Structure 1
Amino acid sequence: MIASRLLLAAAALGLLAGAAPAADNPMRPSPAWDEMRLAVIGTETEPPVDPAILNLEAPMRADNPALVPVRVTQPPGAPPIARLALVIDQNPAPVAAEFTFGPAAAPLDLELRVRVNAYSDVRAIATLNDGRQVMAGRFVKASGGCAAPAGRSGEDARKDIGAMRWKSEPVGTRAMGQLMIRHPNFSGLQRDQVTLLDIPAEFVRTIAVKQGDALLMTMEGGISISENPVFRLAYAPNGQPVTVHAEDTEGRVFDRQFPQGAN
């Protein structure tokens, strides 16, 4: 029952259908980014936008500001990424997530859903293995994503919390893995629709995904990651079981192991 609900949730997000639609919506000048650049990436130098190394797809106008699809990819032969920061300039907490990747995840193909609170550039800044930085992004028209009502509230929202599902399917010489985690990921800006009281922030803080002892991905996330997080990641399978370790802001720890290719 839990697995079926997670699968239905992922389908509703559109992840099972593949990539987020690309649109002709390049990033726009952003005073907010100019002010935070040094704090986020450690330099005032603007990383170059180079589609030969990094691309980001996101819709020009979001159908649901609390479930905005973002896909970050690299073309074949692009240099591997060591770290990636996903930034939504106009969100209350602009750094949506920071990722690291193992060698099996190169070239990168990562998809997730985020909250977008106001018309904003959504940008990914990659640090390559040689220390260079490169950026990609889109301008997304969305409003109110961080305060959008939760799908469930109160104790009902915590029912099955931490339940996970992993699905992996062959894609050419690689595999596309999909991780689904049941968690309300409250942003701290939402209200309980029954009591009308503010809901304190409560979200998945860290995730680590490995196959055997080899790292696939780590994530340090914040309030901008959508409810019931779903991540899709392309990787080179090694036949070993996939393990997931996650922790949330309340100190809960979630651990699961899945056979390679489980669904």
Structure 2
Amino acid sequence: MTVTPIGAGSIQAATPDSFDPWPGLVQDIFNNRQIDEGAGIVAIEMPYRAEDAAIVPVTLRITLSPADNRRVVAITLVIDQNPAPMAARFELGQDSSVSEISTRIRVNNYTDVHAVAELSDGKLYMTKTYVKASGGCSAPAAKNAEEAKARLGQIRFRQFAKATDGPQNGTREAQIMIGHPNNSGLQMDQLTRLYIPAFFINELRIWQDDTLVLAMQGGISISEDPNIRFAYVPNGAKRVRVEARDTEGHLFQGEWPVENSGI
């Protein structure tokens, strides 16, 4: 335990969150650009105390007023106390009207989690929440090596329509699920007692026909079997295409027809 003197004959234990890494992360990830308060621009939702630190749900919502003529072009998710704090950067397709993104992440320590939205005028806006969780980046994989190998690169697509939406208009929700161990590099092989090398999905792109809906640059903090759910506005496309790459250069692809009703 690290202790800090506070007076003659007395000591005070340093707490896990006594060091605030955020100022350094602003410099490292955002080149020290000005980041303003993001209330009314972007919101982040996570459980205050995670049930499982290896699969913590997080939802990012765009709350920018329709009267604002700017748009959100990207959202960066930062888990301040994780070994690799930048969990993901989501790029939003120009005409896709993405309004919500949900995924599952690993949280390694009690930490602030920041969502930073970049707008079309180049300005950055931030919101944050606090999460109590620990050990998520080093938690053993849920699936054994053989099962993970068999599922590697399998992509599933689901699309949902809200009850009030017609089949070809209004906001739709879709979900992309990719079979991949997404090894963090901090997990230990229980047989060899050696660390398993980092191996994860680092690029994901989703299109309606040839129009980009959403792209993700991912890191070690995205959970095993990456799961991305998002709300968007269909453009009348006949198909949805997905392309994912991992850190070993594998390319995974999928394509599905868009029917008149949710799948």
Shorter-normalised TM-score: what interval?
0.7 to 0.9
- What code does the residue aligned with 1:149 have? P
1:201 corresponds to which residue? 198
- Aligned equivalent of 1:160, options 124, 134, 151: 151
- What code does the residue aligned with 2:177 have? M
Runs of 5+ consecutive residues of structure 1 not aligned to the other structure: 1-27
Mark the CA change 1:85 to 1:30 in structure 2 (over 3 Å): closer, same or farther: farther
Question: Cα deviations across residues 172-223 of structure 1 (Å, max 9, x unaligned)?
Answer: 4110011100000000000123333321110001000000111001111110
Mark the CA change 1:107 to 1:219 in structure 2 (over 3 Å): closer, same or farther: closer
Mark the CA change 1:108 to 1:29 in structure 2 (over 3 Å): closer, same or farther: farther
Greater than 6 Å deviation, 4+ residue runs: none
- Aligned equivalent of 1:144, options 122, 135, 159: 135
Distance in 1, matches of 2:193 and 2:21, equals 31
Mark the CA change 1:189 to 1:219 in structure 2 (over 3 Å): closer, same or farther: same
2:109 corresponds to which residue? 118
1:132 corresponds to which residue? 123
- What code does the residue aligned with 2:151 have? D
- Aligned equivalent of 1:103, options 94, 103, 115: 94
Report SS of the residue matched to 2:117.
Answer: strand
Aligned length: 235
Report SS of the residue matched to 1:245.
Answer: strand
Mark the CA change 1:30 to 1:37 in structure 2 (over 3 Å): closer, same or farther: farther
- What code does the residue aligned with 2:119 have? L
Higher strand share: 2
- What code does the residue aligned with 1:160 have? R
2:10 corresponds to which residue? none
Which segment is superposed worse, 74-83 or 149-158? Answer: 74-83
1:37 corresponds to which residue? 26
Indicate whether 1:56 and 2:77 are aligned.
no
1:73–1:107: 8 Å Cα contact kept in structure 2? no
2:215 corresponds to which residue? 218
2:82 corresponds to which residue? 91
1:86–1:95: 8 Å Cα contact kept in structure 2? yes
Question: Cα deviations across residues 32-55 of structure 1 (Å, max 9, x unaligned)?
Answer: 01112112112253x222321111
Report SS of the residue matched to 1:193.
Answer: coil
- Aligned equivalent of 2:248, options 240, 245, 250: 250
Q: How does 1:176-191 map to 2 (within 5 A)?
A: 176-191=173-188
- Aligned equivalent of 2:55, options 46, 67, 77: 67
1:15 corresponds to which residue? none
TM-score of the pair, normalised by structure 2:
0.84
Report SS of the residue matched to 1:168.
Answer: strand
Distance in 1, matches of 2:147 and 2:156, equals 20
Indicate whether 1:231 and 2:216 are aligned.
no
2:14 corresponds to which residue? none
TM-score of the pair, normalised by structure 1:
0.84
1:104–1:235: 8 Å Cα contact kept in structure 2? no
